[in-house]
Amino acid sequence: MQHATSHISGRWVSGGTDLPIIGPVTGAPVAQVITGGWDVQAALDHARGVGGPALRAMGFHDRARMLKALAGYLEAHKARLFAVNPLTGATTRDGRVDIDGGIGTLAAYASKARRELPDGHVWIDGGAEPMGRSGAFIGQHIATSLQGVAVHINAFNFPVWGMLEKLAPTLLAGVPAIIKPATQTCYLTHACYALMLEAGVLPPGAVQLVIGPLGDMLDRLGPQDVVSFTGSADTALRLRANPNLLRHSTRFMAEQDSLNAAILGPDADEGSPEWELFLKEAAQEITTKAGQKCTAMRRLIVPEARLNTVEAALAARLAALPPTDPADPQARLGALASLAQKADVLAKLSVLRTEARLVAGDPDRFAVVGGDAAQAFLPAMLLRCDDPDGARAVHDTEAFGPVATLMPYRDTAHAADLANRGGGSLVASLFSHDPDVALSVTMASAAHHGRLYIMDRDAAPDATGHGAPMPQMVHGGPGRAGGGEELGGIRAVLHYMQRTAVQASPRIVTAITNQWQRGAPEVVAFDHPFQRTFPDLHIGETIHTAARPVTLNDIEHFAYFTGDTFYAHMDEDAAKANPFFPGRVAHGYLLLSFAAGLFVQPDPGPVLANTGLNGLAFQKPVSPGDSIAAQLTVKRKTRRTDTYGEVAWAVILRNQDGEQVAEYELLTMVAYSA
């Protein structure tokens, strides 16, 4: 039997109240959990006083490496989690979504952080804003780690993914977390948490685990803390209304269950690829996790002329997916999480049946392959509502199980309106190959949904699925869906950071951001920066090159050599007729080539490769007879591997009058040693 206890202040809690967890598959106890027996304030003090400082001492890339190592350890030992998974009622396929999905999210955040976050402690939000005419006073938005604790309150349906998808951006932000899983499936969360501790990569106090109630923890949170909640709208409303949270404006993010919709496009004829994709995904969404997904399709909106055909086709697919003992490797539809959850689904089903009739699946008569129908099993059920305009319950009542409702629409505008009647959802799907239909539905309904999943034959080979929140894309939605966001790449990290506007001189802003700002002092080295190793280069290190004349012969040679004979470079009269040019001008890319020749150091050295160019802008044309000179400044440094790092150089080109003609950011890889 599985055991689960809280882990507070670096220790497993031995006291408290024993509570048996009744399994959904056999009705026998599957776990023994111990709730209570720990000090709420001590947990908060440990997170704020030990975990927070330890995480903030690490930079973004250090935290990313930590997540990568953690994901690697969990991947290597995930068999221990899959062994527990069936006890929760979940099939092997469900476990892949939960366990593999959670580990994959950790790995994805580790990778994105190394690519997109700076190698330091401060996130730079946008470019510097001039606050005066001379450039001596500028403004820069930054984000820094909150100095509190993140309290994660998770739902029962994804005991692993639900923990890890919140934890990845939180730890990247440098904020410690107190994790509170739903009690019914907390033993699987506990097993994953124990593996995380075994990995030995998390600093003390970075994570704590609460089994059972939080006590009065919400009453003790402050303005530097965050509550991140997943679950029902009713519970979210009760929690976010906590007077202490309101008093301190404590951040509260909610990801709530919603009545997500899927629309079969008017162009998706029977037998078309989009028709088949719709049926496949609808059946999958109804049965995965026994329908216990906040992103599951609840309302299937189809053209009224095809309602009967869709009903018959989908009913046949669902009939081939009977509820099955989740320990069976072939099981597609497992058990709900508990008998209480089954009772709740049946109660909501009764409400839905006041407006819709059951056309597939019978909760009173069904068999379970290898299991007992009296336990927490239900068949896949499909309802049909012929009058969705006059209905109400189908748009505001969710049976959180293997249940969906078919309804007809007249035209695209009507379909979007029906989808929007859910009051805000996490995701809405459209199965259509027609770009005009996609545009129409997007403009009519995007404001009502956190994600639009538009599926057709072109996207299908790489499609991730209607109900699969991906680390790169936001997971959340307006209204009923909670009004919050999770995931979405680096956006999620910023939920645990404070944006601040810093106004100061370029020198001070450079020191704060560790990124050179125009107008900050320049550092002059005795040797060429291309001969200096990564550790030896300093932010602000600058060279000013000699000038090089640009001749008409240069322009013509470049034109014929490259094939770029655009009239502005070759035809004096046509160029003069162009309001942007005084006459024939040099190619922009000729200027870039000349700049490279001006600042490059040709001898072998630490510079390994030129890997990119960002933010190129041509500000003033260069005519034959002008000359250009380059300024090359170390703007930013980022560690990449144990042997080399990335250096971003600010490049500015000026003409013989000192006027800026171009600027860009050059990226090079530079070795740590010569």
Q: Are the C-beta atoms of residues 198 and 73 closer than 8 Å to each other?
A: yes
CB burial of 418-441 (b: ≥16 within 10 Å; e: otherwise) equals bbbbbbbbbbbbbbbbbeebbebb
Per the annotation, the verdict on 186 as an active-site residue is no
Find, among 156, 216, 223, the residue nearest to 186 by Cα.
Answer: 156
Rounded to the nearest 10 degrees, how much is the dihedral formed by the CA atoms of 435, 439, 260, 484? 130
Annotated catalytic residue, options 165, 192, 281, 294:
294
DSSP H stretches of helix in 241-338: 243-248, 273-287, 307-319
Q: Which of 165, 192, 255, 285 is catalytic?
A: 255
Cα–Cα nearest to 647, from 511, 490, 516: 516
In this structure, the dihedral spanned by the alpha carbons of residues 202, 205, 211 and 217, taken in order and rounded to 10 degrees, is -140
Tell me the C-alpha to C-alpha distance, in Å, between residue 116 and each of 110, 328, 490: 10, 42, 8
Residue 224 phi, psi dihedral angles, 5° rounding:
-95, 0
Distance, in Å, from the CA atom of 179 to the CA atom of 202, rounded to the nearest integer, reads: 14
- Residue written as token pair 């009542």: 397
Burial pattern 593-605, b for ≥16 Cβ within 10 A else e, equals: ebbeebbeeeeeb
Indicate the residue type of 411.
D
CA distance 183 to 538: 52
Distances (CA, A) of 460 to 66, 277, 453, 456, 457: 34, 8, 11, 6, 5
Half-sphere exposure for 428 (CA within 13 Å, toward CB): 34
Which residues, 6+ apart, have CB-to-CB distance to 197 below 8 Å? Answer: 7
Cα 225 → chain centroid: 21
HSE of 46 in the Cβ direction (CA atoms, 13 Å)?
20
Instruction: Report the C-alpha gap between 439 and 441 in whole angstroms.
Output: 6
Q: How far is CA 509 from CA 370, 501, 576, 636, in A?
A: 66, 11, 43, 13
Identify whether 522 is a catalytic site residue. no
Token digits for 641? 């591997």
Number of residues in the chain = 674
The residue type of 521 is P
Q: Are 55 and 156 in contact (CB under 8 A)?
A: no
CB 146 within 8 A of CB 497: yes
CA distance 417 to 263: 11
d(CA 258, CA 463): 22
**Residues classed as catalytic:** 255, 294
